[in-house]
């Protein structure tokens, strides 16, 4: 007879466990559930408040009519973009010639991309009380507008570039490039610029711009690259078109209203008025219901409560001078403008009341003519004792320190304060009582070589040496190289111009391109660059040959190479 065995039931039911084991098992279950939710998505956890941080938010891409725009999603190859595409972190977008696109972030920040501009989305996340957006501007231009304070909490807006990082506060309107920023408006101290791989930073406020040279050291004094901008910056075609399109206003080609409208009336000076003093009083009235901001020659002027405005504008030497007044509405749109032309005819008696004029030491002395084909010129000098301010044409230098006495002014084609042809720069000293000196004048002729003028002419470089260049066989062959726009010895260009740049040895004292000495190259610097542009006359259709030469302090050739560009 077989025996049948049964498993004996325990004394306590299966559900009856010691309290400690039950608690541990429940904790494990909760942890597993949380991990599962995390895997399913951080956004779900954020909704339940189980973890901090924000959830990812898409960036809306708008492709403007007639534009050719490409996108690369998740690191894949570029494809044609469709309008109203949602971009995520890691996606890239680029525009072709005569094409524009608009990126709209969830916090209200808007970026409009100019033609031939490349960007990538780095971060876009947020919750109800904070948000972080970040994008990288690889090349080209971007107009950016951040919202005014309408939400509480932390809002971080960082635009990265290969060499710089831009921290944008609320209420910002700015024009960005990989190496510069023009700030039209910004709350607080302004847009903070930080060179990569350094803790140095600088705030760029309203009415200021920052241009970081290609060969600038990250540890350099950043103040020297910050200047105020001129009327052309306010009238930048891409910026104004961006304002109009973002506000939903169609761009028009007709002329703007003049002082015939009651929105802006200029009462002083009269057109063609002869001015004997060193400055002219500009005054007028606005219709506050239409005009909220007044600018005179590009600078914002405070208006009185009744709608009146006034400001003194310093005049250059005996010459005709335009005074341009603009009225903008609450959206920053130009709604009225007028121009007066006055003639400055300063008498000898009036000139004698001023004190000593400032000295101009570089790139030439006062009363001389400096010729260049470079796109920028740094004008430097010293101020007489008692000088409180230095004014160049109608712009007061913001970075002038009376204690140091030295001053500098950056003139550039792309900033609008230098143009192809003849440029007049009148430099005036102003004391604490507002007395002005007679101007010290420098004439800069851009894009012209040779010729004879009535004044002494200084040719060439910002360097002080005058060693005659030689054409010996290279003594340090292989030390010169070209890194861009295409490394090597040749390049095909399809745009309006390019930046020719490269490296050289520390023994280099001067750099030359087609027998033209690079004025902004500094002795011993291992990096150099040269702008080639159809507008400058140094880039033409067909084959362009650029002979680059590095010379030492004795004028001897260190290395030499030829770069060919097909345009």
188, 213, 242 — which closes off a domain? 242
Span 109-134, average pLDDT: 82
Q: Count Cβ atoms within 10 A of the Cβ of residue 304 and give its class: 0-12 exposed, 13-18 middle, 19 or more buried.
A: exposed
The pLDDT score that the predictor gives to residue 47 is 38
Q: Could you list the residue range(s) of the whole structural domain that residue 454 is in? A: 354-459
Domain co-membership, 81 together with 210: yes
Please compute, for residue 467, the number of CA atoms within 13 A of its CA located in the half-sphere on the CB side: 14
Give the confidence band of 385 by pLDDT, cuts at 50, 70, 90. confident
Do residues 333 and 243 lie in contact, with contact meaning Cβ atoms separated by under 8 Å?
Answer: yes
Q: DSSP letters along 135-176, please?
A: EEEEES-EEEE---S-S-SEEEEEEE-SSEEEE--TT-EEEE
Do residues 562 and 489 lie in contact, with contact meaning Cβ atoms separated by under 8 Å?
Answer: yes
The pLDDT score that the predictor gives to residue 193 is 92
The pLDDT score that the predictor gives to residue 8 is 37
344, 377, 407 — which closes off a domain? 344
Predicted confidence (pLDDT) per residue in 64-76, tens digit: 988 999 999 988 8
CA–CA dist 314, 433 (Å, integer): 15
310, 344, 378 — which closes off a domain? 344
The pLDDT score that the predictor gives to residue 558 is 95
The pLDDT score that the predictor gives to residue 219 is 64
Question: Is 0.85 topped by the overall pTM?
Answer: no
What rounded mean pLDDT belongs to the chain? 76
Domain co-membership, 291 together with 436: no
Domain co-membership, 112 together with 205: yes
pLDDT greater than 80 at residue 462: no
- Least confident piece of the model among 32-41, 143-152, 410-419, 426-435: 32-41
359 within a domain of the structure (yes/no): yes
Do residues 143 and 94 lie in contact, with contact meaning Cβ atoms separated by under 8 Å?
Answer: no
3 within a domain of the structure (yes/no): no
- Least confident piece of the model among 148-157, 255-264, 270-279, 372-381: 255-264
496 within a domain of the structure (yes/no): yes
CA–CA dist 127, 132 (Å, integer): 9
Task: Provide the CATH number for the domain around residue 299.
Answer: 2.60.40.10
Domain co-membership, 314 together with 430: no
Give the confidence band of 36 by pLDDT, cuts at 50, 70, 90. low
Domain co-membership, 358 together with 445: yes
Domain co-membership, 97 together with 227: yes
24 within a domain of the structure (yes/no): no
407 within a domain of the structure (yes/no): yes
Number of domains in the chain: 4
Domain co-membership, 367 together with 425: yes
17 within a domain of the structure (yes/no): no
The pLDDT score that the predictor gives to residue 7 is 38
pLDDT greater than 90 at residue 215: no
Span 43-56, average pLDDT: 44
Domain co-membership, 60 together with 198: yes
5 within a domain of the structure (yes/no): no
Task: Provide the CATH number for the domain around residue 68.
Answer: 2.60.120.1440
Span 416-438, average pLDDT: 82
């Amino acid at each position: 007879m077989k025996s049948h065995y049964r498993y004996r039931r325990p004394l306590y039911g299966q559900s009856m466990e010691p309290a400690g084991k039950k608690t541990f098992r429940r904790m494990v279950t909760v942890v597993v559930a949380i991990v599962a939710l995390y895997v399913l998505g951080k956004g779900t956890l954020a909704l339940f408040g189980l973890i901090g941080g924000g959830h990812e938010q898409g960036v809306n891409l708008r492709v403007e009519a007639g534009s050719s725009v490409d996108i690369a999603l998740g690191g894949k190859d570029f494809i044609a973009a469709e309008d109203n595409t949602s971009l995520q972190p890691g996606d890239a977008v680029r525009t072709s010639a005569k094409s524009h696109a608009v990126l709209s972030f969830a916090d209200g920040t808007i970026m409009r991309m100019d033609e031939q501009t490349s960007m990538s989305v780095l971060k876009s996340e947020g919750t109800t009380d904070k948000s972080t957006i970040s994008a990288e501007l690889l090349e080209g231009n971007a107009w950016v507008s951040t919202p005014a304070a309408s939400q509480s909490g932390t809002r971080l807006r960082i635009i990265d570039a290969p060499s710089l990082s831009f921290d944008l506060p609320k209420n910002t309107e700015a024009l960005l490039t990989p190496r510069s920023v023009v700030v039209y408006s910004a709350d607080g101290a302004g847009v903070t610029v930080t060179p990569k791989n350094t803790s140095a930073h600088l705030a760029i406020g309203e009415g200021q711009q920052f241009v970081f040279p290609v060969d600038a050291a990250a540890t350099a004094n950043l103040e020297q690259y910050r200047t105020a901008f001129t009327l052309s910056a306010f009238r930048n075609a891409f910026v104004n078109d961006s304002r109009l399109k973002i506000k939903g206003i169609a761009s028009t080609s007709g002329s703007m209203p003049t002082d015939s409208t009651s929105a802006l009336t200029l009462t002083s000076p009269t057109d063609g008025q002869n001015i004997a003093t060193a400055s002219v009083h500009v005054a007028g009235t606005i219709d506050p219901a239409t005009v909220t901001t007044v600018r005179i020659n590009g600078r914002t002027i405070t208006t009185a409560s009744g709608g009146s405005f006034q400001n003194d504008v310093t005049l250059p030497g005996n010459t005709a001078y335009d005074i341009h007044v603009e009225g903008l509405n609450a959206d920053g749109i130009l709604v009225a403008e007028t121009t007066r032309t006055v003639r400055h005819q300063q008498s000898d008696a009036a000139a004698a009341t001023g004190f000593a004029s400032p000295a101009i030491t570089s790139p030439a002395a006062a009363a001389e003519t400096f010729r260049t084909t470079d796109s920028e010129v740094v004008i430097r000098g010293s101020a007489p004792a008692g000088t409180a301010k230095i004014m160049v044409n109608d712009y007061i230098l913001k970075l002038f320190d009376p204690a140091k006495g030295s001053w500098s002014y950056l003139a550039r084609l792309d900033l609008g304060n230098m143009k192809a042809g003849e440029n007049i720069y009148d430099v005036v000293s102003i004391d604490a009582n507002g007395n002005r000196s007679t101007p010290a004048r420098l004439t800069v002729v851009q894009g012209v070589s040779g010729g004879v003028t009535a004044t002494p002419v200084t040719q060439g470089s910002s360097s002080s040496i005058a060693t005659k260049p030689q054409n010996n066989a290279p003594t340090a062959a292989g030390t010169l190289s070209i890194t861009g726009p295409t490394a090597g010895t040749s390049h095909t260009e399809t745009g309006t111009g390019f930046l020719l740049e490269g490296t050289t040895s520390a023994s280099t004292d001067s750099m030359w391109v087609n027998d033209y000495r690079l004025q902004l190259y500094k002795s011993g610097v291992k990096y150099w660059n040269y702008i080639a542009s159809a507008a400058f006359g140094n880039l033409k259709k067909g084959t362009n040959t650029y002979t680059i030469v590095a010379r030492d302090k004795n004028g001897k050739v260190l290395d030499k190479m030829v770069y060919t560009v097909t345009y």
